[in-house]
């Protein structure tokens, strides 16, 4: 072993540990790898920067745009209606149909927006069937993962593998090549979830369950600052209105317009109107507070005096509020709502809400007016659970054009007319030119952090190849298998080892990072053993996506984790058997379709 090989393995172990600890964002870890690989001379700089010429990341970006266009035009609304009508069927039938529909859609567009769109539909379905939402949400995430395995464009992981193969001069994946494994795995997984779901899926309550009956009944009314009030020239905090019990000031209206205000420093003025949220028991306290009068009692016209709406929403992927606290966002003034609680990682948080940085998938319990709720629903930062987001105007007339574009991309790749990397870009450009999606929306739909994770891991894979680390590892893996199994069973044992190692890694790391890491190793193992690399690459590709046992193994798992009120162990209980089933399906099918 040379020092270069040793250094590559040190970087690999350090990256895995960093990914698992989650103290540093994955994209920053990947870019750090990129810098270290170039700075230490493990790979010449020209070759390190050549990873930016790999077609995989740009293809992934283009597919994000195609997926966003399909979602924005409302193409999934019709399927949502079909799902809601199944509420009259027995639970197993509903769950199997739900898995089938979500998996089919996920085979053509990115998994995350599929789950985002279907979550409000599933919550409504659960209410109609009088069942907890936790009986449906994990299956929705699993269905998106299983559907993504079935086609080349179903998930970014498949596109990453395809890009690496093309870059190495190996034939890329066919559009439906993975369907040999993906479709049977989806059918088996759907049956398993339908039959075992009621028993294995937990009954968890959503975030609103932490509220008392009184807390659910909050009212919005208004008060104004009269002449001579002791509150004039004082901030909300110095006037004692921030810490007041039983009511909250959620907005200050000045000259008929809601203003941005810092509770600690912005002085109140005579005539300011305060929009106040009161619990029934807090109304008396609010009336007794010196310094302001209720507008109705003073004979002034009420701007807002009605019952508040308590509602839930999840922080959306790519949201601008990720990484920022409620205080930093000036949440009350920006969205005209109050955050009552935050649910994260199976825990309901009610303390220090103002300073907690928000993360993707955090569930916020909020309270505000119906008008504020509709304003949030039209935005892209929070996904509300009562129904899907409302577009500012209907794009249903563009549905045929978007569907035709995606079909054209698929056919061009399938018939060999145009490679997927060029077809996807062409499709994205066409949809922007025809107004199906605005260029700004297209850029916002791309998960840029994911692209940089891919670039960094491609650099690590290149370093393993150039330093001989992949060949060294492949040699030792083959030698180790020789001690366990020989003769005709040796290739199958190696195949099982590759699948299991990839599956374990993808439960704790980014699936794209695992794919970028394992494909070079698969190519090295096949070369060392004198076997065809295809079955090993297929096994690693499937296993890199088939992550069911933890909520951090796949982004959609993380997203439904908080929404359903799940605990970490819930994923282990329902996910490990599904992992085993997918492993068995892969081991039975791969050697027959792709002989060694």
Condensed to tens digits (0 to 9), the pLDDT of residues 413-448 reads 998 899 998 999 999 999 999 988 999 889 988 888
Q: What is the pLDDT of residue 150?
A: 92
Lowest mean pLDDT among 219-223, 263-267, 281-285, 427-431: 281-285
Does the model's pTM come out above 0.85?
A: no
Query: Looking at residues 193-198, what average pLDDT do you find?
Result: 92
**Mean pLDDT across the chain:** 83
Confidence class of residue 313 from pLDDT cuts 50, 70 and 90? confident
CATH of 309-384, one of 3.80.10.10, 3.30.360.10, 2.40.110.10, 3.30.70.1450: 3.30.70.1450
Q: In what helix (H) or strand (E) does residue 6 lie, and over which residues does it extend?
A: helix 3-21
Lowest mean pLDDT among 149-153, 324-328, 389-393, 505-509: 389-393
Q: Is the pLDDT of residue 522 over 60?
A: yes
Q: What is the pLDDT of residue 230?
A: 85
Query: Looking at residues 546-571, what average pLDDT do you find?
Result: 83
Q: Is the pLDDT of residue 137 over 70?
A: yes
Q: What is the pLDDT of residue 286?
A: 65
Query: Looking at residues 12-16, what average pLDDT do you find?
Result: 88
The DSSP secondary structure of 96-126, one letter per residue, reads HHHHHHHHHHHTTS-HHHHHHHHHHHHHHHH
Query: Looking at residues 32-55, what average pLDDT do you find?
Result: 91
Q: What is the pLDDT of residue 98?
A: 93
Confidence class of residue 209 from pLDDT cuts 50, 70 and 90? low
Q: What is the pLDDT of residue 536?
A: 95
| CA dist., res. 67 & res. 534, Å (int) | 29
Q: Is the pLDDT of residue 326 over 60?
A: yes
More confident residue, 243 or 232: 232
| CA dist., res. 312 & res. 170, Å (int) | 48
Q: Is the pLDDT of residue 23 over 90?
A: no
Confidence class of residue 347 from pLDDT cuts 50, 70 and 90? low
Rounded percentage of the chain residues whose pLDDT exceeds 70: 88
Q: 3-class SS at 470?
A: helix
Q: What is the pLDDT of residue 579?
A: 95
Question: Which residues pair with residue 364 across a beta bridge?
Answer: 313, 342
Q: Is the pLDDT of residue 84 over 70?
A: yes
Q: Is the pLDDT of residue 488 over 80?
A: no
| CA dist., res. 428 & res. 393, Å (int) | 21
CATH 3.40.50.300, domain 219-307, yes or no: no
| CA dist., res. 374 & res. 352, Å (int) | 27
More confident residue, 480 or 353: 480
More confident residue, 333 or 90: 90
Q: 3-class SS at 384?
A: strand
Confidence class of residue 306 from pLDDT cuts 50, 70 and 90? very low
Lowest mean pLDDT among 45-49, 94-98, 397-401: 397-401
Domain ranges of the chain: 3-32+467-593, 219-307, 309-384
Q: What is the pLDDT of residue 299?
A: 40
Lowest mean pLDDT among 164-178, 374-388, 432-446, 519-533: 374-388
Lowest mean pLDDT among 91-100, 214-223, 452-461: 214-223
Strand 293-294 with 347-349, pairing: unpaired
Would the CATH topology of 219-307 be identical to that of 309-384? Answer: yes
Q: Is the pLDDT of residue 391 over 60?
A: no
Residue 106 contacts by C-beta under 8 Å, 6 or more apart in sequence? 114, 143, 144, 145, 146, 147, 148, 154, 155
Strand 273-278 with 347-349, pairing: unpaired
Q: Is the pLDDT of residue 140 over 50?
A: yes
């Amino acid at each position: 072993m040379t020092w270069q090989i040793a250094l590559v393995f040190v970087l690999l172990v350090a990256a895995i540990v960093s990914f698992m600890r989650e103290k540093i964002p994955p994209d920053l870890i990947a870019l750090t790898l990129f810098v270290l690989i170039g700075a230490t001379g493990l790979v010449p700089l020209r070759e390190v920067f050549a990873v930016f010429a790999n077609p995989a990341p740009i293809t992934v970006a283009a597919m994000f745009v195609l997926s966003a266009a399909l979602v924005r035009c409302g193409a999934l609304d019709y399927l949502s209606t079909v799902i809601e009508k199944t509420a009259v069927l027995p639970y197993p039938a509903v769950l199997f149909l739900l898995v089938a529909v979500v998996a089919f859609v996920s085979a053509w567009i990115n998994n995350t927006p599929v789950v985002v769109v279907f979550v409000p539909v599933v919550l409504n379905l659960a209410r109609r069937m009088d069942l907890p939402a936790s009986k449906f949400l994990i299956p929705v995430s699993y269905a998106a993962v299983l559907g993504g395995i079935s086609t080349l464009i179903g998930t970014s992981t498949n596109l990453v593998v395809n890009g690496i193969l093309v870059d190495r001069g190996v034939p890329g994946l066919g559009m439906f090549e993975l369907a040999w494994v993906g479709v049977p795995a989806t059918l088996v997984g759907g049956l398993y979830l339908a039959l075992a779901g009621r028993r294995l899926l937990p009954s968890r309550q959503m975030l609103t369950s932490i509220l008392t009956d009184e807390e659910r009944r909050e009212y919005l009314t208004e008060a104004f600052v009269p002449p001579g009030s002791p509150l004039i020239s004082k901030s909300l905090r110095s006037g004692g209105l921030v810490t007041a019990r039983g009511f909250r000031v959620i907005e200050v209206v000045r000259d008929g317009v809601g203003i941005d205000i810092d509770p600690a420093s912005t002085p109140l003025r005579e005539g300011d109107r305060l929009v106040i949220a009161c619990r029934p028991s807090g109304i008396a306290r609010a009336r007794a507070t010196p310094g302001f009068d209720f507008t109705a009692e003073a004979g002034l016209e009420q701007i807002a005096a009605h019952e508040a709406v308590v509602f839930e929403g999840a922080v959306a992927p790519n949201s601008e509020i990720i990484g920022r606290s409620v205080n930093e966002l000036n949440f009350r003034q920006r969205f005209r709502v109050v955050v009552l609680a935050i649910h994260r990682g199976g825990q309901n948080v009610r303390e220090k809400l103002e300073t907690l940085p928000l993360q993707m998938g955090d569930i916020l319990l909020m309270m505000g007016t119906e008008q504020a709720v509709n304003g949030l629903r039209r935005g892209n930062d929070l996904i509300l659970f009562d129904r899907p987001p409302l577009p500012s105007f209907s794009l249903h007339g563009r549905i045929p054009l978007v569907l035709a574009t995606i079909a054209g991309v698929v056919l061009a790749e399938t018939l060999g007319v145009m490679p997927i990397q060029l077809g996807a870009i062409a499709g994205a450009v066409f949809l922007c030119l025809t107004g199906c999606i605005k260029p700004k929306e297209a850029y916002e739909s791309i998960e840029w952090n994911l692209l940089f994770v891919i670039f960094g891991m491609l650099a690590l894979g290149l370093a393993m190849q150039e330093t001989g680390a992949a060949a060294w590892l492949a040699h030792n893996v083959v030698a180790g298998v020789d001690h366990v199994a020989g003769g005709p069973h040796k290739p199958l044992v190696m195949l099982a080892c590759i699948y299991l190692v990839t599956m374990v890694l993808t439960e704790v790391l980014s699936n794209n990072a695992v794919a970028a890491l394992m494909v070079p190793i698969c190519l090295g193992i096949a070369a060392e053993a004198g076997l065809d690399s295809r079955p090993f690459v297929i096994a690693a590709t499937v296993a890199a996506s088939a992550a069911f046992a933890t909520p951090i193994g796949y982004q959609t798992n993380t997203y439904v984790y908080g929404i359903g009120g799940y605990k970490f162990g819930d994923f282990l209980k329902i996910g490990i058997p599904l992992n085993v089933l997918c492993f068995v399906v892969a081991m039975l099918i791969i050697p027959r379709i792709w002989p060694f």
